[in-house]
Amino acid sequence: MERALPTHAPMSQWPLRDGELLVGSEPLSRLAARVGQTPFYAYSRPLLRQRVAELRASLPRAVKLHYAMKANPMPAVVQFMAGLVDGIDVASAGELKVALDAGADPAEISFAGPGKRDPELRQSVAAGVLVNVESLRELPVLAAASQELGLPARVAVRVNPDFELKGSGMKMGGGPKQFGLDVELVPEALAFAAREGLAFEGFHLFAGSQNLRADSICEAQCKSYELALRLAGHAPSPVKFLNLGGGFGIPYFPGEQRLDLAPIGANLQAIVERAAREMPAAGIVIELGRYLVGEAGLYVTRVVDRKVSRGQVFLVCDGGLNHQLAASGNFGQVVRKNYPVGVFPVRGTARETASAVGPLCTPLDLLADRMDLPQAQVGDLVVVFQSGAYGASSSPQAFLGHPACAEVLV
Ligand SMILES: *Cc1c(COP(=O)(O)O)cnc(C)c1O
């Protein structure tokens, strides 16, 4: 018997009506007419709201939910998310400005990232946001800014742990890393903070990204908690802030399934109960980017040409890796796999094997490689699902000088 090929997770968050994909209640073709151009990204408010609600229902109430806005920094999205989550995590002074403009409470903004420049650190002190310190060099800069401005420098220490997040698409902790302070250096940083009167608040651990295995996320959260508890013994004051990271993934490729939140919720509940005894002042935070916004976004591009080359069908679209680098496989994938892709409107039952490519002069500009798709013609819309995170802002939009994509929040 033939083994069934692995398939993409169903994109059931996007209903179909009469062959049209619906964005909210609006058919995609009408949305495209309203936007006035292709390519564009569309993000759905109801889907964003639904995702946060699901998380709230699955995680303990005591756990605070932060949005890591680098996943999607569109100002309207950040503003919408700021109204749903408990805090915003920024990775630059540029993102800090967007978060503040969006009305996020500075008390609930934290700033992490390697290579924070001196002016960015000073801006953070002036804004009153929490800085996740990742290098001993940042400490005296923060102390000087605090002195000069007469404001407390709120700091947490981002720790590069001595373990890795198993099954993670992108590892960002464990071993030698540019992120965070190696555990071994943390006592020295804490002693400096105490000596210089920095306002120590807690610890930040982030082990990695795009993980679909609940067991390894739970393991990383437990180990992160243990490590923070050990380090709390060196802290100048009680831990108020304990960011256990995130790394929750979404299904992109055939065979991948949605993350099971139930065991993560139970694991966090156990951590919350331990923390109530062992670090009673600590508010537990998880920070998520992709998981909050990734499934709520579409990348929409139009077929400008349909070519058959030696028997293979190519749908040549008006956008590609210049806007949606990740779907082309060039944003950290080792072996290229197809994102879920669709062609709309669906006119009948005829299907064909086709490749969707962008307009750039490079074979890397590939959105779908020989996929089974509804038969498409020039003018149809090619949709890349799972495009709400690491899309427009993570792609080389200037490459080849095509127009920028539009972005709409619907
Ligand atoms: C990028 C990043 C995140 C968000 O990661 P996702 O995989 O999008 O959830 C969270 N925290 C830190 C420190 C990051 O660098």
Q: Which of 162 and 23 is assigned the larger pLDDT?
A: 23
Residues near ligand 1 (Cβ within 6 A): 68, 70-71, 89, 112, 206, 209-210, 246-247, 287-291, 389
Ligand 1 centroid vs 160 CA: distance in angstroms?
14
CA-based diameter of the chain, in Å? 74
User: What does the pLDDT read at residue 169?
Assistant: 66
pTM above 0.75, yes or no: yes
Ligand 1 pocket, mutate which of 159, 252, 259, 287 (most atoms under 8 A from CB): 287
Distance, CA of 239 to CA of 227 (rounded, Å): 13
Q: How is residue 394 written in tokens? A: 């993570």
How many other CB atoms are found less than 10 A from the CB of residue 309?
8
Ligand 1 centroid vs 394 CA: distance in angstroms?
13
Distance, CA of 238 to CA of 156 (rounded, Å): 12
Q: How is residue 66 written in tokens? A: 């932060």
Ligand 1 centroid vs 68 CA: distance in angstroms?
6
User: What does the pLDDT read at residue 249?
Assistant: 97
Ligand 1 pocket, mutate which of 209, 213, 290, 390 (most atoms under 8 A from CB): 209
Atom of ligand 1 nearest to the CA of 246: 9
3-state secondary structure 236-259: CCCCCEEEEEECECCCCCCCCCCC
Atom of ligand 1 nearest to the CA of 132: 13
Atom of ligand 1 nearest to the CA of 245: 11
Distance, CA of 228 to CA of 203 (rounded, Å): 7
Above 90 in pLDDT, residue 350? yes
User: What does the pLDDT read at residue 4?
Assistant: 81
Distance, CA of 176 to CA of 179 (rounded, Å): 9
Summarised one tens digit per residue, pLDDT across range 70-115 is 999 999 999 999 999 999 999 999 999 999 999 999 999 999 999 9
Distance, CA of 95 to CA of 108 (rounded, Å): 14
